Every structure is written in C-alpha cells, then in structure tokens.
Structure 1
Amino acid sequence: MTAATHAPTSAASVWRQPAQVWAVAFACVVAFMGIGLVDPILPAIAASLDATAVETELLFTSYLLVTGLAMLVTSWISSRIGTKATLMAGLGLIVLFSLLSALSGSVDAIIGFRAGWGLGNALFISTALATIVGAASGGSGSAIVLYEAALGLGIAIGPLLGGLLGEISWRGPFFGVVVLMAIAFIAVAVLVRGTGERRAPVPLSAPIRALRTPALAVLAAAALFYNIGFFILLAFSPFPLGFGAMGIGLTFFGWGVALAVTSVWVAPALARRMPRTTIMQIVLVLLALDLLAAGLLVSSAAALVTCIVIGGLLLGVMNTVLTEAVMEATDHPRAVASSAYSAVRFLGGAAAPPLAALLWHAFSASVPYYVAAVAVMLAALIILLGRSTLARVDGRVADTQEEGAAVLIGDAG
C-alpha cells in the first residue's frame, strides 16, 4: 500500500495493537513463509530419498490440490464454527502434518502429509484476515498495514530460512515450521478471544454457484493458466539452477522480496491510475516474455536468477490486481467469491510442477519455461476476450480492506 492509501492511519496506531492481533500476525508470517520454505530443499529431498524430479514436484501438487479443493468448503466451515475455531484447526493441522513430513522416510509419505498441510493452510488463510480486521485497533487501515508487513516478511524469509535449515538437513525446514506454528497455535489459543460473531451459515454449494457468474468464470479461467506459469517458475527452477540449498534459498529470497514489494506498494498505485484489466494484460505479456527469456537462458545460472527475480516483481502485481478484480466481479460475499476463484486457480498450480519435470526429462530444461510462457499468454487472451464481462472490475478503486484481502489471498497461492 502507498502512504496515501492509509492516510487516516497513524504510524503509532498501526503498532499499538492488542496481543491477539500480534498473535495472528505472527501466525501469518509463518504461514506465508511456507510458500517458499520447501523450494530450496527439493533437490536434496530427491537425492536423499532416491526420488525422481516428478515425484519431488508432487510435494507442491498434493499441497496445492488439497488447498484448492478445501477452499470450496472453508466458508461453509467457518460460518458454522467461527473464525477462532477455524484458525486453530488450520494451525493445528499444519503443525501435525509438517511434523509427520519431517519424520517421513519416503517421498510418497511426504506427498501425502503435504496434502494434509494444504488443508490446514486453506482453513487458516481463509479466516486470518477477518480475525485481525475484527480485532485491530485504529480501524481496518491499521489492520491491513500490519497484514502487509506480515506478508512481506513471510514471503521473503521463507526461502532464506529453508535454505539455512536445508543446509543442515532436508528435514530442517519441516521441523522449523513445526516449532514456529506450534508457537503460533499456542499464542492464538491463549490470546485470541472468541469474536462472538453470529454468522449466517453459508451453503456448501455457494462457491460452485458463484462460478456461474461470467466475470468470475473469466477471471478464474485466466488464473488457472496464470498459475501454471507461476508455479513452473517457483517449483521447477531449483532444479536447473544447480545450486545448493543456501543458493536456492538466497535466489528465492530475492524473488520473495520483489514479489512483496510490488504486491504491497506497486499494484495498488497502478490500480489507482489505470483499469485493472489493462494492468493484467500488460503484466501477463511481460511475464510471458520473462518466462521465454528464462527458457532461452536456462543454461546460465546468473541469467536464470535474474529472470526469477524479475518474475517476482511481475507476480506481485498480478496476484494483487487479479484477486482484487475477483472481489469486484460479483455480488457474492467476498469469502465465497475468493473461495471459488482460489479453488480453480490452485488446480493450475497443482498441475504445473510435475508437468514441468516431465517436460524437462522428455525434452530439455528450456521447454517447461516455454510451456509456462504459452500458459501465461493464454491467460492474457482470456482476459482480452472476456473484457466485455469485466467492465465492473474496472469501475471503482478498492477500499483499504479489499486491497488488503487481495494481497493476502492473492499471494497465498
């Protein structure tokens, strides 16, 4: 966010928050660290467990597939048991399945446990924003600034911590998540009060019905192909880089910092100056060119690192603007619309990593990036062809809470 967006919010009020807000904010940092934490240890897992690249990439697939499918039911669950219970269920599942992953002796077991981790992640990220906005002092502006700080820290630190712990053992990052999420679970249990909210139960079929809305269907279809490009860049790149865990961690630390900076500051500034559909089309074309360059220059580690970091800059803008557009696309509750969109989007992310590994072994390390570039161009084409249905998403600037939700949900996957 820019300073203008948060003009009514003083710096003092942002950092003067109740203990329960800090508890959830800390949990958010750890949750977003999980996005890049596994990246640096993928080659080490493959070597230590005698697994193929395709099998190792399924660590992303099981996690993202279950996260996406679970998104279809998270609003139904939280509307019945409340936000605190949903938060704690999500955190508890992450602790359990990250511990089981750390203790595993086969890649198949880790693939299964990562699926359980994905369920916990879906429950947590679907309710974290509502919890902190409801509890923060200083209004929603203060809450969103705090969320953005947590988001940036998590996305940037995750790969770096994964690299540091991965130098000790591939099990290290998993144990790290166990410890940090256990602290977060205890903090939420002790410090977060029940909100006492009386929420109307959300029908189980609500996200599926929401996808019948033309604008939301267009955005979800574009997101599916866009996420193929996103996760080929994120999940496949550790293999052709040829670095150790620390080198991969530093590379994706740069990627995470770039993504956080553009999602928090650049995307909202652009959205105030031009239509969201225009931003998405420009960024998707630039991302496709970046992926094409990565494929052409894949034999040069320095060039590939540059493409990865540039990709982070573009992904940060796209994540925020695309998810913000979803929130404006329908009259459905935001939780329902984002659940429907996220479910479709994560399917693209789930398919991408093993597809990239198969293409690598069948052809060369360049081909996955070329396929990613084509997928991203298809996303741009879908936005272009569906622009007549998207007039509503260009109609007004999102308010503070909408922008914060876009950052939170968009960068979660």
Structure 2
Amino acid sequence: MSNTQLTRDDSAATTSQPKAVWAVAFASVVAFMGIGLVDPILKPIGEQLNATPSQVSLLFTSYMAVTGVAMLVTGVISSRFGAKKTLLAGLAIIIVFAALAGMSGSIGEIIGFRAGWGLGNALFIATALATIVGAATGGVAKAIILYEAALGIGIATGPLLGGVLGGISWRGPFFGVSVLMAVAFIAIVVLLPELPKAAHPTSITAPFKALRHKGLLTVSITALLYNFGFFTLLAFTPFPLDMGTYAIGFIFCGWGILLAVSSVFLAPKLQARFGSLPMMALSLALFAIDLAVMGMFTEHKIVLIVGVVIAGAFLGVNNTLITEAVMISAPVERSTASAAYSFVRFGGGAAAPWVAGKLGEHNMSLPFWLGAAFTAAAVAVLFLGRSALAHIDDHDPAPHSIEEAQAVTVGD
C-alpha cells in the first residue's frame, strides 16, 4: 500500500489528535483562505477605487512576491526562535496588515498592505506543517494528510467568505481574516506547547545551494510555469465572468472543494496506480487544455464557470504529488528544499496576475492562452528532467524530523 494512503484505522488516528494540532490546523485553514479571499471583491475594488484590472491584480502580485522572497528566511528565523514564536509572529503580522488593508482608501495602500500580509503568511505557512508533525499522533504521513485537508478547506472557503462578506462591503473580507487570525493566535498561545528548536541553525544560502540539484530545480521550474496558469485562473477570471460577489464566491468555492477532495483522496490513489511523474504530467496537461478552452470561449460564461471548477481536480492532484516530489527530489534537508522550491515557484504566482490583467485590458482571451502556454511548458520541463526524478516513487515522501518538515503550499 502507498504510504500516502490511509486505512480506516489510519483515518481514525488522523482525526484523533491533540488540541494543539487542531489549533494549528484551524490557523492553517484561515491562512490559506487568504489565497482566494479577494477573488469575489476584485471587480468591486476596481470600480469603487477607479483601478484597472492590472492594478487590482497587484493585490495578488505583491502578496505572492513578498511571500516567495520571505520563504528564504523563514528557515533561518524558525531554527533560531522556534516554531511557536515563528507561527505567532506570522499570525500577528497578518492580523495587522489584513486590518490595515480593510481600512485603506486607495488601491496603492491595499497593494502595500497585501505585501505585508505576504510576509506574515510566509512565516506562518513555512512553519505550520512542521508544527503539526511535531504535535500530531499517529505518524508523519497522517499529519501530512491533515495539513493537506486544512489547505484544501482554506482554499475552498476563502472565496466563499470573500463573497459573503464582500456582498456587504469590499472591506469585509479583510476585516474577517483579521478577526479569524486573532482567534487562531489565541488558540495557539493557549494550546500549543513550545517545541524544540532545530539542532543546527539554517543558513540563508542553503536554499540557493539546494537548487544545484537537477531534480529539485526541475520541480521548481515546473511549479513556476504552471503557477502562471494557476494564478491567471485565480486572479483574472472574475473580470470576464463579470458577476456579483456572491456568484464569484460560490464558483471559486466549488473549485476549492474539488481541489481539496482530489488532493486528499484522489491523488494518493492515482499515484499508487500510475506513479507520480505520469500523473503530474497528465494533470498539468489537462489543466493546460482547460485554460485553452477557456481562451477559445471566453465570451461564454458557462464555459468559464465549468473551466474554473474542473481545474480544481487537476490542480489538486498535481499539488499533492509535487509536494511529495519536492520533499525527496534532492539530498538536502527537506526544509531547505521547501524554501528553495517556494522561492522559485512564487515567481510565477507573482508575475501572472499583473501580466494577465494587462493583457486582459486589450483582449479577454489572451491571459488564458498565455496561461495555457506556460502550463504546457511546465509539462515539457517535467519531461526533460524526468531522469532526475525517476526515484521519487521509491522513497518515503514523509519528512523524518520536525526540522525537515516544511510546508510546500498550493499554487499551492
């Protein structure tokens, strides 16, 4: 049986966890809400603050760019100050900057505060999985499944919360996250004990050295390219859909639910039957085709809606498999591999929203075609580097220690 699959007894062990684990899992759900939270309010923000689609898309760009760069120092910080302090610092930063974004009076202010939010997000998500692994019972594999479930729930509920609160005011989702993160902050203070620090402080140069390994570099470039398609879908599609906040929220909630289900339940079964590399390549190829169809029929809202929702299945499978691949793609500490991978891949996440918004101001179909081309290029990179990743199904993908267990998120 694949070590990512759970029996009924395993499932019971996964759900029977200490309160500290559930506190971090809850905070993880809220953190991942931030990815799709602003989807339903992109158009209202643009209309009320007189901003173009490319300007509004910078809410994603500033958030992802800072998150990616900050990933390089999260290991340095957590290895010196400990996981609990790092988690709390990340949550505190998100609380402050999410509230400031809600009080903003211009698009420039929101973009800047989303950048600060990205710093807090990096500190939190880069430490959350390590903390869950350290506090969980029943083994590392079950902790990873729990973390993936939290990720999926957060991605699914983010657009829904954004739609409900955004229906009241575009400021609502920002204040909502700030309040929820404050609750998570208190829960972690009360329920999470201090965890041991890393035996050896992490070097800031370690992630760059890790990218010398072809397997890790291949996976990282693959993620950079398909993230271009991922964030084109996420940040641009609300504009051609041109629907209300509730409708956009429910559409992307459907996408998130399918992503969560395929990530936790479908991906392990497909991996066990067909192998990681073939399924990663297939899921990315199907996502590229999906984007191309959306490009061909951009004027048909039903096609865009269906395209968004089914993309969740392709991305969910790929996210889980590529997460595991990162953890075993190079002979370095997995926290270091995670930091290097996250730094590279967030480049695609940061660039795509602005480029898509700029192209969409001239032709609504172009962003989808470009996203499809980048995602197809990701499949080509994966194929060319397959020899360096041929071993990934021969190893246990689970981290061996708390220090090595670092989150590799969507878009994850």
Which AA in structure 2 matches 1:391? A
Structure 2 equivalent of residue 375 of structure 1:
374
Q: Secondary structure at the match of 2:194?
A: coil
Shift of the 145–222 alpha-carbon distance from structure 1 to 2, 3 Å rule, reads closer
Could you tell me whether the CA contact under 8 Å between 1:29 and 1:154 is conserved in 2? yes
TM-score by length of 1: 0.94
Cα offset, 1:33, TM superposition = 1.3
Which AA in structure 2 matches 1:332? V
Shift of the 284–134 alpha-carbon distance from structure 1 to 2, 3 Å rule, reads same
Shift of the 395–196 alpha-carbon distance from structure 1 to 2, 3 Å rule, reads closer
Cα offset, 1:145, TM superposition = 4.2
Could you tell me whether the CA contact under 8 Å between 1:324 and 1:406 is conserved in 2? no
Q: Distance in 2 between matches of 1:67 and 1:399?
A: 24
Shift of the 262–2 alpha-carbon distance from structure 1 to 2, 3 Å rule, reads farther
Which AA in structure 2 matches 1:411? V
Note the residue ranges of structure 1 that are not aligned, 5 or more in a row: none
Shift of the 8–407 alpha-carbon distance from structure 1 to 2, 3 Å rule, reads farther
Structure 2 equivalent of residue 345 of structure 1:
345
Partner deviation per Cα, 1:166-200 (whole Å, 9 max, x = no partner): 00000000000011000101111122111133431
Could you tell me whether the CA contact under 8 Å between 1:323 and 1:406 is conserved in 2? no
Structure 2 equivalent of residue 178 of structure 1:
178
Which AA in structure 2 matches 1:23? A
Could you tell me whether the CA contact under 8 Å between 1:259 and 1:314 is conserved in 2? yes
TM-score by length of 2: 0.94
Cα offset, 1:408, TM superposition = 5.5
Q: Distance in 2 between matches of 1:333 and 1:162?
A: 37
Q: Secondary structure at the match of 1:170?
A: coil
Structure 2 equivalent of residue 237 of structure 1:
237
Which AA in structure 2 matches 1:76? V
Cα offset, 1:136, TM superposition = 1.9
Shift of the 146–224 alpha-carbon distance from structure 1 to 2, 3 Å rule, reads closer
Q: Secondary structure at the match of 2:17?
A: coil
Structure 2 equivalent of residue 385 of structure 1:
384
Q: Distance in 1 between matches of 2:10 and 2:313?
A: 28
Cα offset, 1:412, TM superposition = 5.8
Mapping of residues 58-69 of structure 1, within 5 Å: 58-69=58-69
Which AA in structure 2 matches 1:319? N
Mapping of residues 264-413 of structure 1, within 5 Å: 264-362=264-362, 364-396=363-395, 398-399=397-398, 409-411=408-410, 413=412
Mapping of residues 4-43 of structure 1, within 5 Å: 5-7=5-7, 9-43=9-43
Could you tell me whether the CA contact under 8 Å between 1:98 and 1:175 is conserved in 2? yes
Q: Distance in 2 between matches of 1:264 and 1:406?
A: 18
**Range moving further from structure 2, 143-152 or 296-305:** 143-152
Which AA in structure 2 matches 1:312? G
Q: Distance in 1 between matches of 2:219 and 2:146?
A: 28
Shift of the 198–71 alpha-carbon distance from structure 1 to 2, 3 Å rule, reads closer
Which AA in structure 1 matches 2:155? I
Could you tell me whether the CA contact under 8 Å between 2:126 and 2:407 is conserved in 1? no
Q: Distance in 1 between matches of 2:63 and 2:277?
A: 30
Structure 1 equivalent of residue 147 of structure 2:
147
Which AA in structure 2 matches 1:243? M
Identity %: 53
Could you tell me whether the CA contact under 8 Å between 2:18 and 2:137 is conserved in 1? yes
Note the residue ranges of structure 2 that are not aligned, 5 or more in a row: none
Could you tell me whether the CA contact under 8 Å between 2:125 and 2:409 is conserved in 1? no
Could you tell me whether the CA contact under 8 Å between 1:6 and 1:400 is conserved in 2? no
Structure 2 equivalent of residue 160 of structure 1:
160
Could you tell me whether the CA contact under 8 Å between 2:3 and 2:396 is conserved in 1? no
Which AA in structure 2 matches 1:381? A
Could you tell me whether the CA contact under 8 Å between 1:63 and 1:118 is conserved in 2? yes
Q: Does 1:101 align with 2:101?
A: yes
Structure 1 equivalent of residue 257 of structure 2:
257
Q: Distance in 2 between matches of 1:6 and 1:188?
A: 28
Cα offset, 1:141, TM superposition = 4.5
Could you tell me whether the CA contact under 8 Å between 2:63 and 2:115 is conserved in 1? yes
Structure 2 equivalent of residue 75 of structure 1:
75
**Range moving further from structure 2, 283-292 or 140-149:** 140-149
Could you tell me whether the CA contact under 8 Å between 1:2 and 1:265 is conserved in 2? no
Could you tell me whether the CA contact under 8 Å between 1:41 and 1:163 is conserved in 2? yes
Q: Distance in 2 between matches of 1:2 and 1:214?
A: 25
Partner deviation per Cα, 1:221-245 (whole Å, 9 max, x = no partner): 1111111000001110010001111
Runs of 4+ in structure 1 off by over 6 angstroms are: 1-4
Which AA in structure 2 matches 1:50? N
Q: Distance in 1 between matches of 2:167 and 2:336?
A: 41
Partner deviation per Cα, 1:99-151 (whole Å, 9 max, x = no partner): 11001001101101101111111110111111112112333354334333322
Which AA in structure 2 matches 1:314? F
Query: Alignment RMSD, CA only?
Result: 2.2
Could you tell me whether the CA contact under 8 Å between 1:5 and 1:400 is conserved in 2? no
Could you tell me whether the CA contact under 8 Å between 2:327 and 2:399 is conserved in 1? no
Which AA in structure 1 matches 2:386? R
Q: Secondary structure at the match of 1:168?
A: coil
**Range moving further from structure 2, 179-188 or 270-279:** 270-279
Which AA in structure 1 matches 2:58? L
Q: Distance in 1 between matches of 2:7 and 2:309?
A: 31
